[in-house]
Structure 1
């Protein structure tokens, strides 16, 4: 068999594998024997489908036109279904709406304390109304600067600071909860008013990785219950460790009515920039809308990029 035929066969096999990895994981429940592996893969579905399409097209050029064509069409169909599902549970930005507040979320990476002062400087340059930081141990050395600039900074000591919320205005209410027994107080809620008197809830979370079977499902169920409790406009931010088209996020959005960004902001790994996976999110509910959203934190030594979002409230 010629080198050309061997290459075509190998690429066809790679395309078939990419198609399987890009479609099947989202269909596999977490509690099944293959659930943990499925949760590792389903956030990567678009990348697998793009790989499938490229391999299929090259397979056609190398002579296996019928097989390559079938694989290419399958990749396009599955990609179309993925886009359809994402569009149903997302909202486009509304750049024509007036901005009521600016929200910033950033996973600062706990061992990143040497960069703490630079992280705080970068945050202040964005002039946000609400800041949420996951793994805030990184900014603990510079926490005083945040306290000088914001009316409210959630209680934080180096040993217990697992999720930090800072707001320009004092919240009407603020509380924290533990959604799982492994990491404490990684969910926080603030009831806030804007300067013009519009009231809203800010819910912040840092979820565990979805392939930690036995814990992640319980955590997600508790998060759904917490979101269901919040009335009126809600803005939910956080590190969800899952892309918006993954099974856990699709279930969360379906069950709660929260909506994600139509064009997600790639956040992880930070080194991949715009080619990264969007596992950090800004979700909205009950009339809150994202006016625009952009990546934050490039060059701040975290493994995540953050998100800065301008929000319009009803």
Structure 2
């Protein structure tokens, strides 16, 4: 039993070290584990508890405490960027609706047709798609409802990241923030419900490719700031970040752009186990925008991510809203 306790405890110890690395180092390797901080800490706590039950000793007990502390801190950090109050009461109508989905570039073209149907029927004012290739054969019928777009031939030679709007764009730009992939940052300034809003569709690579994830987010911040200087309006930012808001470079991106999350973020990956999943696809807002609602789409349409749909208030800061 003691040997089994040592084996189990060693696994727990290594997992705790990987999760705790963020507190002592900014190395990109620890960014990969940061997204799993809560789930990983829960697993480490279970393993350490098993090790303690098999052979009761102080080291195993301390590992249980360390794992619980790391998990609790991760949970607390989820609230660091929750949208500010006050916000309009629940009965106050939303100003616009946005859908975002990574449809997976090698998704079948049959699913591309289903996704096109869902886009057309969504009622969204703006739709942001990542890895848009399966939509290629369906662009003409999507255009009948969303005639204004970036990507898939509009300012690009690629059909990767795309942004679709029911109303004209005051300005629209396709940018490259990544050393690996082109045209994965789309910036658009759009009038929605009579108010001007800047939209950013962001798709970053996975955080375990050296420090490229951090480079992409830093470059995105610079390009968004430049765009906003020429198109003053609050930002609505969405896309696939391949990382949770527990990851240090995502947190830096949110801080530098003064972005907020909804009161809670739905898990978007892995789709096979949503109960233990995490939010690696995001929607963020900047003042004076507020979330009325944020939900995962009920179907994946063959993707390996759940998409997101949000209803947004454009808060009038001169109005005192009734209490919720």
Which interval holds the TM-score relative to the shorter structure?
0.7 to 0.9
* Greater Cα shift, 280-289 or 152-161: 152-161
1:109-144 deviation line (CA, Å, top 9, x unaligned): 112223111111223333211101111101111222
Q: 1:192–1:247: structure 2 CA closer, same or farther, 3 Å change rule?
A: same
Tell me the CA shift for residue 297 of structure 1: 5.9
- Normalising by structure 2, report the TM-score: 0.85
Are the counterparts in 2 of residues 15 and 53 from structure 1 also a CA contact under 8 Å?
yes
Q: Distance in 2 between matches of 1:276 and 1:26?
A: 23
Matched residues in 2 for 1:152 and 1:122: separation? 17
Q: What residue in structure 1 maps to residue 75 of structure 2?
A: 83
1:103 and 1:310 in contact (8 A); partners too: yes
Structure 1 pair 256–72 and aligned structure 2 pair: CA distance change class (3 A):
same
When the two structures are superposed, what TM-score results if normalisation uses the length of structure 1? 0.88
**Structure 1 residue aligned with 2:222:** 225
1:157-192 per-position Cα deviation (integer Å, ceiling 9, x unaligned): 495122111111112111111113432221111112
Q: Mind listing any 5+ residue stretches in structure 2 that lack a counterpart?
A: 316-324
Rounded Cα–Cα distance in structure 2 between residues aligned with 1:71 and 1:181: 40
State the secondary structure of the residue aligned to 1:271. coil
Paired with 1:215 and 1:171, the residues of 2 have a C-alpha distance of 30
Partner-residue secondary structure (3-state), 1:149: coil
C-alpha contact 2:119 2:142 (8 A) present in aligned 1 = no
- Distance in 2 (CA, whole Å) between partners of 1:306 and 1:43 is 18
Does 1:147 pair with 2:139? no
Secondary structure of 1:270's aligned partner: coil
Cα distance between partner residues in 1 of 2:275 and 2:265: 10
CA distance in 2, matches of 1:62, 1:213: 39
Tell me, in whole angstroms, the C-alpha distance in 2 between the residues paired with 1:205 and 1:110.
16
Deviation at 1:155, TM superposition (A): 5.0
SS at match of 1:182: coil
2:151–2:174: 8 Å Cα contact kept in structure 1? no
| Pair 1:155–1:250, CA change in 2 (3 A) | closer
Once the 2 structures are TM-superposed, how far is the Cα of residue 285 of structure 1 from its aligned partner?
Answer: 0.7
Alignment partners' CA distance in 2, 1:61 and 1:218: 45
Q: Which runs of 5+ in 1 are unaligned?
A: none
Whole-angstrom CA distance in 2 between matches of 1:160 and 1:200? 25
Indicate the residue corresponding to 1:120 in structure 2: 116
Query: Which position in structure 2 is the counterpart of 1:249?
Result: 250
Deviation digits for residues 254-299 of structure 1 (CA, Å, limit 9, x no counterpart): 2221123442222223223342232111011122111111112634
- 1:251 Cα offset (Å): 1.5
Does the aligned pair in 1 maintain the 2:38–2:71 contact within 8 Å? yes
> In structure 2, how many angstroms separate the alpha carbons of the residues matched to 1:116 and 1:26?
43
- When residues 232 and 26 of structure 1 are mapped into structure 2, their CA distance, relative to the original with a 3 A threshold, is farther
Q: Select which of 44, 49, 56 maps to 1:57.
A: 49
Aligned length: 305
Residue in structure 1 matched with residue 106 of structure 2 by the alignment: 111
